[in-house]
């Protein structure tokens, strides 16, 4: 693969993360209030967005497996462009803003730039190099998170709420053009394509849900997938509630919360882009997975005891390391456990975990926060990961080498 083909692949998660963070930092919630919606209606809107991305992830992954990397990248960025265009149009007083705001999440169901990039990396990397290669994508996501959090609030304050949506729209359109012109049609090997469509067999539909669910029943897939979901869910709950926690518990204003988000992005860049790659060359994936669960347990104890933002800053490196190690290692293990023709679908299933957390997180996290306060997130994280660690120690996960061809 040439450098001109690699550049848009690495820009994919950067553009996606930059655009999303621009909208978050630029005041998407403020836009809903400007249009007359209260926090409950905003929650319904976020839930709709999460459900659509939850359903769209596996379908998008299957589309990427069948139609190739170029079509997947282009579709993802065009869908993101439509989403940001509808949000920008909703800001205009001469247009039906409320209707456009509720229509905006529909194209977002197909906006999955990061899983597409992960699929290409999985297709092109050797099995032993895959964790480091997937980890380097964290550099791109970290850049997007930092730039988005810094630019979003600034653009919104200086140029209005519509400006971040237009900037995100332009970034997505540029990424779509780069994808169409530079990404190869397919990154699957010849053997993978032959395996996907045996001679004489009808081509499976993108919407074949049985084929998607069968992936989870393949040897070595379901245990790893369940560890990925269960171990990371408590941290996901905390991060979903973080905007409220930062205001109520840490007493931070919007600018200070933005700096904290940037710090999170820097840590993600360093840990996922550098540290995970180095560790993966010295330790097995099973060892790294158990280490991430152990650190989750320690972070849970610290989170239960923290009382101010300084304490959170001290535990944040451990939290980010555990999240990065869990995601990178399980993604690598899962893409090795399935055939090369199914890596996109598998990564699409993995991409559905975050929307699942965003869908149920506000309700579950809100109930826990109102009833027990911030320490409950540490208690839940500690208890959940102790159980996961016991399961991993009693029954180690099978590791399967990838099929190359």
Residuewise pLDDT in 10s, the chain (405 residues): 444 455 455 555 555 655 555 555 445 666 666 777 666 676 677 778 788 888 888 888 888 888 888 888 899 889 989 988 988 888 888 888 788 888 888 888 888 878 888 888 888 878 788 888 888 776 777 677 677 766 776 776 677 777 878 888 888 888 888 888 888 887 776 445 445 555 555 556 676 777 778 888 888 889 999 999 999 999 999 988 887 888 888 888 767 877 887 788 788 888 988 898 889 888 988 899 999 999 999 999 999 999 999 999 999 999 999 999 999 999 989 988 888 888 888 888 888 888 888 888 888 888 898 899 999 999 999 999 999 999 988 876 665 544 433
Asked if the structure places residue 402 within a domain, the reply is: no
Q: Which residue from 127, 80, 86 is spatially nearest to 108, judged by alpha carbons?
A: 80
Domain count, the chain: 1
d(CA 388, CA 69): 35
Give DSSP secondary structure letters for 28-41.
HHHHHHHTT--HHH
DSSP structure class, residue 197: S
- Long-range contact pairs involving 82-86 (C-beta distance under 8 Å, separation at least 24): 82/107, 83/107, 83/108, 83/111, 84/19, 84/23, 84/165, 84/166, 84/168, 84/169, 84/172, 85/165, 85/169
**Three-class secondary structure of residue 225 per DSSP:** helix
Give the structural domain span for 145: 3-184+219-394
For residue 341, the 8-state DSSP code is G
Buried b (16+ CB within 10 A) or exposed e, 114-134: bbbbbbbbbbbbebeebbbbb
* Cβ-count burial 220-241 (b if 16+ within 10 Å, e if not): bbebbbebbbebbbbbbbbbbb
Q: Give CA angle at 335 (235, 142), nearest 5°.
A: 45
The answer as to whether 189 is a domain residue is no
Residue pair 102/45 in contact (Cβ under 8 Å)? The answer is yes
Does a structural domain hold residue 166? yes
CATH number of the domain bearing residue 153: 1.20.1250.20
On whether residue 34 sits in a domain, the answer given is: yes
Decide: residue 215, CB within 10 A, 0-12 exposed, 13-18 middle, 19+ buried. Answer: buried
List Cα–Cα distances, 79 to 112, 209, 356, in angstroms: 9, 22, 20
CA angle, 292 then 388 then 361, to 5°: 85
Residues for the chain: how many in total?
A: 405
In a domain, 198, yes or no: no
Closest CA to 155 of 166, 145, 144: 166
| Maximum pairwise Cα distance, the chain | 65
* Residue 270, domain member (yes or no): yes
Predicted TM-score (pTM) of this structure: 0.80
């Amino acid at each position: 693969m040439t450098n001109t083909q690699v550049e848009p692949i690495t820009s994919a998660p950067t553009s996606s993360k930059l655009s999303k963070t621009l909208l978050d930092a630029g005041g998407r919630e403020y836009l809903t209030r400007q249009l007359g919606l209260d926090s409950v209606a905003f929650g319904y809107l976020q839930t709709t967005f999460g459900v659509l991305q939850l359903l769209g992830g596996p379908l998008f992954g299957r589309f990427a497996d069948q139609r190739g990397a170029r079509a997947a990248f282009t579709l993802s960025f065009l869908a993101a462009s439509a989403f940001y265009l509808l949000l920008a149009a909703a800001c205009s007083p001469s247009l039906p803003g409320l209707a456009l705001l509720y229509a905006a999440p529909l194209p977002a169901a197909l906006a999955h730039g990061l899983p597409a990039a992960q699929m290409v990396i999985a297709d092109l990397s050797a099995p032993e190099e895959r964790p480091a290669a997937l980890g380097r994508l964290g550099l791109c996501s970290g850049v997007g998170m930092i730039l988005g959090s810094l630019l979003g609030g600034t653009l919104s304050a200086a140029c209005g709420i519509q400006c971040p949506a237009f900037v995100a729209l332009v970034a997505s359109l540029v990424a779509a053009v780069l994808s169409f012109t530079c990404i190869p049609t397919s990154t699957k090997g010849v053997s993978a394509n032959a395996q996907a469509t045996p001679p004489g067999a009808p081509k499976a539909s993108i919407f074949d849900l049985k084929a998607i669910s069968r992936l989870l029943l393949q040897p070595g897939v379901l245990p790893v997938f369940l560890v990925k979901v269960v171990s990371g869910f408590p941290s996901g709950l905390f991060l979903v509630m973080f905007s409220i926690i930062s205001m109520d518990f840490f007493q931070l204003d919007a600018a200070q919360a933005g700096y904290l988000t940037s710090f999170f992005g820097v840590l993600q860049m360093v840990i996922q882009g550098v540290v995970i790659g180095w560790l993966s060359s010295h330790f097995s994936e099973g060892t790294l997975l158990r280490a991430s669960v152990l650190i989750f347990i320690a972070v849970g104890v610290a989170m239960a005891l923290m009382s101010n933002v300084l304490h959170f800053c001290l535990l944040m490196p451990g939290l980010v390391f555990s999240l990065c190690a869990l995601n990178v290692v399980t993604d690598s293990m899962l893409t090795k456990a399935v055939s090369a023709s199914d890596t996109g679908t598998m990564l699409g299933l993995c991409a559905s975990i975050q929307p699942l957390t965003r869908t149920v997180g506000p309700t579950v996290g809100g109930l826990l926060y109102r009833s027990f306060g911030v320490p409950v997130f540490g208690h839940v994280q500690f208890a959940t990961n102790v159980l996961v660690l016991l399961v991993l120690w009693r029954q180690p996960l099978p590791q399967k080498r990838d099929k190359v061809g």
